[in-house]
Amino acid sequence: MPLEPGLIGEVIHTVVETDTAAAYGSGLVAVLSTPHLIALMENAAQKAIQPFLEPGQTAVGTAIEMQHLAATPVGMQVTVRAELLTVERRRLRFAVEAWDAQERIGTCIHERVIIDRDRFMERVAQKQAG
């Protein structure tokens, strides 16, 4: 089945201490950090498309325009839902929303690019070798 707009990916996650702004160093509060919320959003987008990619392919995040709207405490569950909006060759664009048990906590527009995993890792190895 080809990649087409409308594909949905979802992640459900319970916030733990290591997910917090205090743990990430991005703030001094024990609530879900923005960096961790972004990671959950990227994960939901990847889940939407991974079953439809060719063997050896994956996608990497290239852009994210995100709003973190509300704090979520440790122990509360978060649901993140990504919908594929557009497919332009290898470039994919998603709308993502995140909710905790009480309210919408984040939204974003996220872009991913389909890559050949082996070629990508070869370039990383070359970079690492200097």
| pLDDT tens column, 12-59 | 999 999 999 999 999 999 999 999 999 999 999 999 999 999 999 999
Active site residue 42: yes
Active site residue 103: no
CATH of 8-129, one of 3.40.50.10800, 2.30.30.90, 3.40.190.10, 3.10.129.10: 3.10.129.10
Whether this prediction's pTM lies above 0.85 is answered by yes
Pick the catalytic residue: 20, 36, 42, 83? 42
Contact 74, 20 (CB under 8 A): yes
Pick the catalytic residue: 13, 20, 36, 68? 68
Percent of the chain that is helix, strand, coil (3-state, to 5): 30, 45, 25
Contact 62, 114 (CB under 8 A): no
